[in-house]
Structure 1
């Protein structure tokens, strides 16, 4: 092939040796995996240790490569290259070197040239070079070579100058540049370097007009703390302190980067340009400032310095959270708030609930679509988490959210349960502040509008109830601390529920508490007691404290006029009751049963104060019971049985009310005296099970004699049961609520029957209406009324009035029937609860067997599945606890004969057709009676076999006998297990 036309010769490629291993190391320095980067950096640095004696060319080549690598756009390159660069600078320049060798000054020049951007690069390439220069500066400073005695001071100023120049020209990277200088101040102090190093940095800040910037503030404060004797530039800050009280306004503008922080008398000197870039992360200057503000100005040398409260109010609340602030500034504010709530001291965090902040928090929490809603949710959760970790913080949180800076009905406004959760977590120290604060809010709910005041008071009362509920299950040790708090809460309810202030005193509620609010507060008292009596520690004391508070306040008039009218006779009964209560309290620790009677007395007196007409007679009966049960030995005679019967009637009176409070109270008292229940008392319980679940059953049970009396009684009962929803018994179930999925067919049949009844009633009404109208019906001619004279029109009006009156009466009767059914179902539920307690406490008494037949009949007859199931459960529980020596004992032939009759009656009951649970209950009851008979005399097994044989014969021969097969299979199983003992 010939030579080229231009006569030039092709250049021969010179052989070039490539260090493949070194290339791989540089490649691995940019890896995204930490372990690969670190291993590569270690491998590269190992080549520049003093023992390897690297040449100047190797050093220069490596540093050039590393400085260029810092300008790479690869994600992890800057991290890996900066690590290697820092270590190589340390290895090379901290060791002694020849004067003519490659110097540290040469390295700085190399950094400057390799990271300088030429004018031809793209914008991204220019940004890469800027970051490369910044990372290079950081590596140089971290290597600590600058602080060596042999390194001239000018080289320090050269590095600082390049960094600050970068910060001035490129405001978007100013924070990173400032962070490097800020860290340098701490490094200088740690190395005990001369103050001139810090002074050079401060002068550089002023020279590049960034002293009055967030970065300048942080650097200045660090220098002020670590080098207090250094010479600071003049006319930058008042008293050379960014936190001077006279710098509040300027500092606020600087920290939110408003670009308007002009220095007084200096025009625009030292005023930094706005960075122009919003960062979702907090600037490091906030930590620098917050760490140097104290809750109180204790240092006399810094008496002009802002306290934390001053700083937070001016810079954060009036700055970041100002009404005109952008969402981005408020975002920073929420970050600061959350950080201080999580990590700040108790006093510091307590001062963060300022007016603009809490307003913004409330508004952002209330609406999910708002820009800062998620930040507000995080802030609310941070408050709850702090209280959970540090319960004493609850007081500050409550005052902050609901006080003058917050919103009284915070949870309602935000549609959250933030405050409710906080008060539930509060410990007794915090509650000592919270409870009086809530009392002030009820007294003065922050508004003169009566409707709003009632709503606010209801909200605060709900919070007080939440406290009681959360503390009602407190352990024994905590209960002693909480006792005073709980009594104070109930005292607050008593004050505003039972008394009316004349409005003249300074403590009078403004506006006056309405009657509806007073009724709500009385219901809140019942709700509190309902929770507290489940704890034995509180059940024996709190109810008594409440009624004593009412009595004492009524006597002294400290809370105003007592709203309950009590005549002389009732007053005497109450006075006698309190005397008995005093005696019970003195004997409570020594004698069993005193606490139960104390509870019963207290709750009966509460009923008196709530205006229950029956409570007076109940007090008299209680006095009789108290005398016979717990009086002197002379009085504990044959009348004890009558006292037991009277006690059962009192407890049934309480149990009949649709209230969990009275249910729990009756159960506790009944449990204490269950072993003293007589036959008559037990019959009072079982007779309720026999009553019909209807209006006639209710009339029979409550001895309502005529329709008028019935209506009056039901009206009274309805008024009595018109209580707050917290008071309603959750166990009350009527046929619509009690039926389960297995009862769907029955529900459908009942619904069809109800629809059919409705249709029949409508048809009957239309027939009566048509009969009354006669020839003037709706389908008659339109002018037919013109043929009627005045007498005929009056007669027609009378007929129509009668028809509609009858229709209204029928509707009223249907409602009465429904209400009566619900009342009876509730009553039977309560009686079954008492009977379950009775079998647990008195299962070894022969008397307990008397409940079997009523339970079995209830299981078969009740139209409410829940009632039938509950009756079966009581039978099952009874048979379960009657084992071995726990079986009832027969003492004479008369009792044995009664038991034989009971066995035959159970078998007769089993022959009736009933639900599946009924058959099982009959079998369990039968076997229980059999066990008692056989345990008394083994020879009774023959008679038992005869009874079962007779039942089997009836099953085979009588069409009316519907005994289930399981009845005999369970008998057979018992025979197999009992045969060994019988033999």
Structure 2
């Protein structure tokens, strides 16, 4: 029972007797929940409060209810963050649930507790809190449905109070008007007419003067709920009728601008009402939305941003209207100022205007998809809108390169896309285009838009053979050829549209041409298989080659960059060979290498336009390779390398080009010849990927090559390299002396341009011995000679100046070279990925692991992207490693490489790199050898385990300190049963007395890893597991029983207890706990001396022993119960049974 305080004396300030009541503590605690926490917690608190009141005894229930009422009302004025919200929810809940809370009494409490005048003067913040509290209190009465219990006078007084608060505090207008709207929804027509309407009509008579959206919303609620009271005559006199007509748009616009919080009421109530009154979306947009987008110079940037955002929200709401037609929506979208926002070029992250515009465009696209309106017509209207702006000299209103325009472009059907392509091509050709006003200042920008759109359509899902042929031949003609005389017999040559060699439009067309070819080479569609897409791409490339041949042989055209005769000859030879290959490739078997060569020839052919010298040089090698491949020659006894290795070298050369198109084509060709690859070809790829040895190499130089360029880091090496060796022959010296005279003569004729800073450094080093620039030859001869000691000093100073200059100049070049090398290796990894994805992944797995591992261990700043790319390829290789077969390498190769990996593990220090090395070891061990003379795969696995065992023994016996324990643990965790041969050796080492504690720690840790459960364990494996685990459990028992609180080996004890926990987890091996009660008892005695980690492990061991004992006792009791149930009653015929029971 809650305690009651004694009554106050009559002589006190309060003359009446007041009894102070304190409810139970659990009720008081709920009030903290109501003022803090989340919305869910506050709702739960309100429910809990009502439940606590309901459960209380009847004699105090009324007191608790009254206390809660007064405290909740008083708390509504609190300035705490969520107090008003939580307390209003709780008060509403109590008013709904307890009818004994009289409404008039609650009103009296509100007026008594939430007062402005009092003995103490309130601050401005406290006054505002009281006003808000009263607004919230009135709102709770309305939400609780208590208005029907109020008298007419009380109802009128409540409305009057709300209107007064609304007038006094501007920030309360929205709350008060909203509360009155809720009140109107609950009262009868009579109550409204007699008690409410007289109060609010005086305010509504002001009409549009100083009107806000919340007051307009109140008027609309009155008119909709009680139209007989809020008469049409009243509206016509004070507001105009219809209320939301076009004539009132200007007044409504002013109301919107005068209302701080405008979005919700406008969008959710006023706009739908305007559309219901037979106004179309276009008239609403013109009356409101379009005016909000106007640029006003006197307005601040943040104010304009808010206006523009509201305009986009209005447009979004109008678009979602069910009755909105596409034509009207399109007219809204293309209104000049709104179009600028929609088709924007904003790239700033999280820009609110761009996000709203993107949302609007997305909704428009959804509406367009669901309608039958032509997307082509939409695009045409967009161009018309841009043309109209051009005529008004207001350019750049629509950005045709924007993502939103591209989003609409992607809605085209293929027939519409073909028509639109003709639309764009005709404009670029200079034909009459009725929707575009051609002006010199705007034509260039529009031409750029057209070319980029052609590129997008040709390389997107809209494309087909017709579009690809039209666009690519058009771009090729503009990028590389000029028309001297028009001809209709050749496509795209009917007009003399020409660009110069360095013209921006020519560069744009060239870039678009190669980007299209690049995108189409990897474009995936659902209509064709992978081989079908590849064949279609080859046909397209050949068609373009035919078009080039037609343009080259035509007299009315010429290349923009003149071709020498030898290049034209090379092209003829190349085109003839391509034509021959196309005719001979008739089935997939021939196409396996024919298609690869054809693609390579076509790519090199198109390189004639950019770098014909490089293309011709590479073609000579590819010609020979194709000749060998087509004849099917066997190069076993040939001194020349196999053709596939030469092609690989060519592909690596192409990878060095600064061209993504070349990179994609190279990977495609390499993938096509994967069935012909040899270890030699893979070795060429690996050679360029393997990092060079450096001082910061995590691999410690293992598996890596020495970089000849690293000598540049040390200037002294360069100086030594410049000195002639003593073994240099006299003939070489004489040859040099003969050539020196000629070099001196040439140097005398040349005038060197020496860096002025370097010149000053040399002068400073020479000091007084320096000669001025204006000193003549005769004056130089008159200068005194320097002594030998002075000369030696000058030599040292000059050498230092030259050394610093060389070092400073070479550092930047070396950095650039390293970046280029890293980028080149990233490209070459595409070839590695192609092999990993091919059927021959197993054949070259050993060759690929080496470069991938070393690349992932790079730690230079310029290698970050390279490490990420190599890691991705390594993960792909790991995912495909299961079940791979090697028909190329032998078991000896596997053993040698596994040994190299173990050597690498000895040098690596980073934990992540050690784990990667362990994964590589497991991948090699899982490899199956199926080729001739490769050896038995099981014997290969045994060899790898033996090597690992030998290395582990050396680590345990301290013959070597590395690899570290984490390497062995990571490797064993991948498949513990694979390394079961290690267990007996580890247990023996553990039991040997001479084994050092650190070595025992290693043994315990690895045995704990080996004890983990694994799949596919056969009976023989279980026997071996049981054998070594029993021995290990014996050692653990002895170790624990020998633990001494005074001489505790913390680290070793931790590893032993970890092993104990691992052994106890193997319930499939041990039916009972491997440790008895003595172990439990001793651990409980000594664990008080343990640290936190040891104590946690000891508790696990103790808990496992207790569980095992409990289960054992349950089994025994169950067995006894079965015997009593199933056994016969004791008789003289069963004396043996009686004896057993006794």
Q: How far did 1:355 drift?
A: 2.8
2:357 corresponds to 1:334 = no
Alignment of 1:594-609 (within 5 A): 596-597=596-597, 599-609=599-609
Partner residue of 1:673? 673
Once the two structures are superposed, residues 108-153 of structure 1 have per-residue CA deviations (whole angstroms, 9 ceiling, x without a partner) of 687557755899999749999999799668645653535xxxx9xx
Q: What is the aligned counterpart of 1:757 among 685, 695, 715?
A: 715
Question: Does the alignment pair 1:88 with 2:148?
Answer: yes
Aligned twin of 1:429: 412
C-alpha separation between the residues in 1 aligned to 2:299 and 2:533? Answer: 53
Please point out which of 197, 201, 220 is paired with 2:243. 220
Q: Distance in 2 between matches of 1:506 and 1:658?
A: 32
Structure 1 pair 845–595 and aligned structure 2 pair: CA distance change class (3 A): same
From the superposition, tell whether residues 783 and 440 of structure 1 become closer, same or farther in structure 2 (CA, over 3 Å): same
CA distance in 2, matches of 1:965, 1:329: 67
Taking a change above 3 Å as real, the CA distance of residues 675 and 565 of structure 1, as seen in their structure-2 partners, is same
Matched length: 764
8 Å CA contact retained: 1:655, 1:666: yes
Change (3 A) 1:313 1:941: closer
8 Å Cα contact 1:570-1:616 kept in structure 2: yes
- Aligned partner of residue 613 in structure 1, secondary structure: helix
Choose which of 139, 158, 164 in structure 2 pairs with 1:79. 139
The answer to whether 1:168 aligns with 2:211 is: no
Distance 1:637 1:411, change over 3 A: same
Alpha-carbon distance between aligned partners in 2 of 1:427 and 1:385, rounded to the nearest angstrom: 12
In the alignment, what sits opposite 1:178? 216
- Whether contact under 8 Å (2:340, 2:398) holds in the other structure is no
Matches within 5 A, 1:787-826: 788-789=777-778
- Judge conservation of contact 1:628–1:636 (CA < 8 Å) in 2: yes
Q: Could you tell me how far 1:204 is from its partner in structure 2?
A: 0.6
Distance 1:315 1:621 in 2: 71
Distance 1:357 1:937, change over 3 A: closer
1:55-82: CA deviations, max 9, x gaps? xxxxxx8999899999994132232333
Change (3 A) 1:778 1:253: farther
Cα contact 2:628–2:643 (8 A) shared by 1: yes
| 2:607–2:615 CA contact under 8 A, matched in 1 | yes
TM-score, normalization by structure 1? 0.54
Distance 1:599 1:870, change over 3 A: same
Residue 449 and residue 845 in structure 1: after superposition, are their counterparts in 2 closer, same or farther (change >3 A)?
A: same
Equivalent residue for 2:536, pick from 538, 541, 551: 541
Q: 2:449, 2:268 → 1: CA distance? A: 38
**Aligned residue number for residue 1015 of structure 2:** none
**CA contact 2:386–2:397 (8 Å) conserved in 1:** no
Equivalent of residue 563 in structure 1, options 560, 572, 587: 560
The residue that corresponds to 2:88 in the other structure is 33
Partners of 1:26 and 1:520 lie apart in 2 by 77
Please give the alpha-carbon distance, in whole angstroms, between the structure 1 residues aligned to 2:807 and 2:766.
Answer: 23
> Compared with structure 1, are the counterparts of its residues 342 and 562 closer, same or farther at alpha carbon in structure 2 (3 Å cutoff)?
farther
Match of 2:263 among 275, 278, 281: 281
For residues 218 and 868 of structure 2, what CA distance do their matches in structure 1 show? 77
In 2, Cα distance between the equivalents of 1:182 and 1:329?
A: 29
- 1:550/1:333 CA distance change after superposition, 3 Å: farther
Instruction: Please give the alpha-carbon distance, in whole angstroms, between the structure 2 residues aligned to 1:255 and 1:500.
Output: 61
Native 8 Å contact 2:479 2:509 kept in 1 = yes
Measured after TM superposition, the shift of residue 521 of structure 1 is 4.0
* Cα distance in 2, alignment partners of residues 914 and 836 from structure 1: 25
Per-residue deviation, residues 728-768 of structure 1 (Å, max 9, x unmatched): xxx9999999967999xx99x99997565299879x999xx
Offset, 1:569: 1.9
Contact 1:317 1:357 in 2 (8 A): yes
User: Which residue does the alignment assign to 1:204?
Assistant: 234
Equivalent position to 2:335, from 343, 354, 366: 354
Conserved in 1, the CA contact under 8 Å of 2:667 and 2:830? yes
> 1:613 aligns to what?
613
Residue 252 of structure 2 corresponds to which residue in structure 1? 255
Residue 229 (structure 1) aligns with: none
Tell me, in whole angstroms, the C-alpha distance in 2 between the residues paired with 1:657 and 1:129: 69
For the aligned residues, what is the CA RMSD?
7.9
Q: What is the CA–CA distance in structure 2 between the aligned matches of 1:639 and 1:116, rounded to whole Å?
A: 106
Contact 1:604 1:615 in 2 (8 A): yes
Q: State how 1:247-646 maps to structure 2 within 5 Å.
A: 251-257=248-254, 277-281=259-263, 284=266, 288=270, 308-309=281-282, 311-313=284-286, 315-318=288-291, 320-324=293-297, 326=299, 328=303, 331-341=306-316, 344-345=319-320, 347=326, 350=330, 351-352=332-333, 354-357=335-338, 375-376=352-353, 378-380=355-357, 382-383=359-360, 386=363, 419-420=402-403, 423=406, 427-429=410-412, 494=476, 497-499=479-481, 513-514=504-505, 516-518=507-509, 520-521=511-512, 524-525=515-516, 528=519, 532=523, 536=530, 539-542=534-537, 544-545=539-540, 548-549=543-544, 551-552=546-547, 555=550, 562-563=559-560, 565=562, 568-576=568-576, 579-580=579-580, 582-583=582-583, 587=587, 596-597=596-597, 599-616=599-616, 644=644
2:344–2:354 Cα contact (<8 Å) kept: no
Aligned to 1:56: none
Q: 1:38 to 1:570 in 2, by over 3 A?
A: same
- 8 Å contact from structure 2 (residues 319, 363) kept in 1: no
CA distance in 2, matches of 1:825, 1:569: 38
Aligned residues of 2:293 and 2:308 also touching (Cα < 8 A):
yes
Asked whether the 8 Å contact 1:500–1:563 carries over to 2, the reply is yes
User: 1:334 deviation in Å?
Assistant: 1.7
2:121 corresponds to which residue?
none
Distance 2:600 2:200 in 1: 82
Quick one: distance in 1 between partners of 2:859 and 2:177?
Answer: 88
**What is the deviation of 1:337?**
1.0
In structure 2, stretches of 5+ residues that fail to align are: 1-15, 18-60, 77-86, 116-129, 430-435, 485-492, 723-753, 783-798, 909-913, 955-959, 972-977, 985-1019, 1022-1142
State the 1:673 CA deviation: 2.3
Partners of 1:119 and 1:667 in 2: how far apart? Answer: 77
Q: Match for residue 143 of structure 1?
A: 187
1:429 CA drift (Å): 3.3
User: How much does 1:40 deviate?
Assistant: 1.7
Mapping of residues 38-53 of structure 1, within 5 Å: 39-41=94-96
Task: Tell whether the 8 Å contact from 1:87 to 1:143 is kept in structure 2 after alignment.
Answer: yes
SS in structure 1 at match of 2:135 = coil
Mean Cα deviation higher: 426-435 or 596-605:
426-435
Distance (Å, rounded) in 1 between the aligned partners of 2:928 and 2:164? 108
Cα gap change, 1:440 to 1:143, in 2 (>3 Å): farther
Question: Is 1:886–2:878 an aligned residue pair?
Answer: no
Residues 729-768 of structure 1: pairs in structure 2 closer than 5 A: 754=712, 756-757=714-715
CA distance in 2: counterparts of 1:940 and 1:159, whole angstroms:
96
Inter-CA distance 87–653: structure 2 relative to 1 (3 Å threshold): same
